[in-house]
Amino acid sequence: YFLQSNDKLPPVATNPEECIIGPNIEERLDGAPSWGNSSNEQGSKMMNNNGRKRKQCSQDAVDHLDDGETNSSGSISKIEDSKKDDKIPTKSSTFNQGVGTFLSSGCCIIPNVLPPSFVSSCKQKATSDLSFLHSELQSRKKEAIATNSPHLLAAVQRGDFRELVKRDGKRCDVRFQLDRFPFTCPGLIYNSIIFPLVRELLGCGGGGEVSLLYAGVMWALSDEKNDSVCPAQQQRQPQKWHGDGGHLFHHAHMPPHCINVFYPLVDITPDNGGTEFIPGSHIFGQFDMHKNEFGLCCKAGDAILFDYRVKHRGGANLSISDRPVLYLAYAKSFFRDAGNVRSGNSLVSSPSLSPVWVSRMLSGEPMRMNCGFEDCNGNAITSSSPANAMATNPTTTNDEITAAAEGDHQAQGSGERWVLFQMNIELDSGDPQTITVHNGDVASEVSSQFCKSKNLSDDFIPLLTGAIQQQIDAYMLSKKQ
């Protein structure tokens, strides 16, 4: 509806409060349908501001909604109350109001998206990964000096590897072991709040595939961190203003084709390097026109969504603690990000520990509210690996793993999607079913989506995940032969 008529969009946000969207309390009940898919009419109405408090951060940044109560932006409610004409849809909902806010401003905040226990698991894994990569960086530096390798030494000094990239503003962009728990949880990838909104914004609300273009953890290192990870001259400096990419066409504005989702793993405050935005700058021809800028502060487990084209920057981290943010980039199925490139050289000495990231198509349905955050394998260390990378297996040699990883790295970004295998499943009803696994698929995602579509118990997911992963591993072995 909003995509068809820009004059029905709310105004561009002028402060952080106007960027807050999200389902109301009734829509968030455990096991409820995903956002925008509720049959409860009451759940589709905007909640008012009663019983809701906001804390105002410095620099006009929003902190959080107190007591865990979450609902949509008060500013949007005011718009609805003040405009009783055909400029605003007569049957508005939290969902389509959220769509409108994103389309007009290019950024938004959704409180309380990830459960605290899951956020803790993500933070623990991300912290462990950064520490490991830091030690690998030091090992590679010693290797470069010992072997008199200027190219390797330059890569170490620049921080230019597949798993770790140093960016301005004292940022470290980490993409490491994204094939493992908790980064493969269906509750994260097919989140009940985020995924339906992203799918709608990308024009796939009625069905169709969405590409998970990339994912990772962006660290804003504290001022206390030594310069072995990021150069000292980057201290106390924010990032430069930028957009992650441009428009698909240069004659007219088009709906979003790529959307970034940030999940802070710690509270975002004005002091620890929160992201600042210029709302409305994603509109064609408006990148340098808007001057209203502000940071978006939020709690750990909230979500910040923004258009790939919007003007933004990471603030300087002036605190004494590092600030990690988990990010996912969703895109239209045809889109390939040719502008943001990174090295193909691995920092990690053991290839089996660092599978190559390959974007994958998401054709499943959103999870129900507060569901899908369990480890499908019951093991937080060796969760299921993607179909493009060999899982750790005592019968597999490092040479075999290296050959498989290098072979798939050459095909990375081609956009091709091919079938690896098909698995026949016979249900208790005797009805035969077929599961098709493609290049880049993750076993836990495939199994959870199959069980969801067939109304099977979640108890079946780990068993099916293991069976699919076994076939993926067998395929990877066969590639070398």
**Tokens 């504005």 map to which residue?**
253
Can you give the pLDDT at residue 83? 38
Q: Pick the more confident residue, 234 or 249.
A: 249
Residue 280 CB partners (closer than 8 Å, separation 6+): 12, 104, 105, 106, 286, 289, 290, 292
Element (H, E) at 166: strand 164-167
Minimum mean pLDDT range among 118-122, 183-187, 452-456? 452-456
Question: Under a CB-based contact definition with an 8 Å cutoff, are residues 175 and 380 in contact?
Answer: no
Can you give the pLDDT at residue 49? 35
Q: In whole angstroms, what is the distance from residue 8 CA to residue 89 CA? A: 8
Mean pLDDT over the full length of the chain: 79
Residue 9 CB partners (closer than 8 Å, separation 6+): 2, 100, 103, 104
For the chain, what percent of residues have pLDDT higher than 90?
50
**Does position 91 have pLDDT exceeding 60, yes or no?**
no
3-state secondary structure at position 277: strand
Q: CA separation (Å) from 39 to 29, 162, 452?
A: 13, 45, 19
What radius of gyration, in Å, describes the C-alpha atoms of the chain? 22
Which one-letter DSSP state was computed for residue 272?
B
**Does position 404 have pLDDT exceeding 60, yes or no?**
no
Model confidence over 299-357: pLDDT tens digits? Answer: 999 999 999 999 999 999 999 999 999 999 999 999 988 877 788 899 998 888 998 88
**Does position 393 have pLDDT exceeding 90, yes or no?**
no
Amino acid residing at 88: I
In the structure, what pLDDT confidence band is assigned to residue 211 with cuts at 50, 70 and 90? very high
Helix %, strand %, coil % for the chain, to 5?
A: 30, 20, 50
In the structure, what pLDDT confidence band is assigned to residue 21 with cuts at 50, 70 and 90? very high
In the structure, what pLDDT confidence band is assigned to residue 42 with cuts at 50, 70 and 90? very low
**Cis status, amide bond into 462, omega within 30 of 0:** no
Q: In whole angstroms, what is the distance from residue 109 CA to residue 223 CA? A: 27
pTM score, whole prediction: 0.79
Q: In whole angstroms, what is the distance from residue 290 CA to residue 231 CA? A: 32
- Provide the CA 132 distance to its chain's centre, in angstroms: 22
Element (H, E) at 353: none
Amino acid residing at 397: T
3-state secondary structure at position 215: strand
**Does position 416 have pLDDT exceeding 90, yes or no?**
no
In the structure, what pLDDT confidence band is assigned to residue 212 with cuts at 50, 70 and 90? very high
